[in-house]
Amino acid sequence: MNPYAKLTFLMSLMLGTTITASSNHWVSAWAGLEINTLAIIPLISKSHHPRAIEAAIKYFLVQAAASTLLLFSSMINAWHTGQWDITQLNHPTLSLLLTTAIAMKLGLVPFHFWFPEV
């Protein structure tokens, strides 16, 4: 892989992490998580081995499903509270959906079955 491309992907990872950690708005937190997802996929599949491609596809599918769940829970939360603020998560079902989405993104139990293969 080109060293400039690798540097760009690593800088994108740091940027996405910084955006996610410093956001107070659900959409900016989601955007930071998506920047991380799009930056890590080329790093996973840089060796053109079939196992690396399979791992990148599994990673993408799990992260896309978790992002969809995260956006769904934040959209329903904004509908209930009238705000997109992260600190206004009061509904218990929405808290469960958000926790599930974050657990899927992090590969926590019981959503960890994809993690060892990637």
User: What percent of the chain has a predicted confidence (pLDDT) above 70?
Assistant: 100
Q: Does domain 3-106 have CATH number 1.10.287?
A: yes
The domain segmentation of the chain, as residue ranges, is 3-106
Mean pLDDT for the stretch of residues 38-45: 83
113 pLDDT more than 80: no
- Whether omega for the bond prior to residue 110 falls within 30 degrees of 0, making it cis, is yes
**Distance between CA 81 and CA 37 in Å, rounded?**
29
**Distance between CA 76 and CA 61 in Å, rounded?**
23
- pLDDT per position as a tens digit, 51-60: 888 888 888 8
The pTM is what? 0.80
Residues 34-67 as b/e (b if ≥16 CB within 10 A, e otherwise) read bbbbebbbeebbeeeeeeeeebbebbbebbeebb
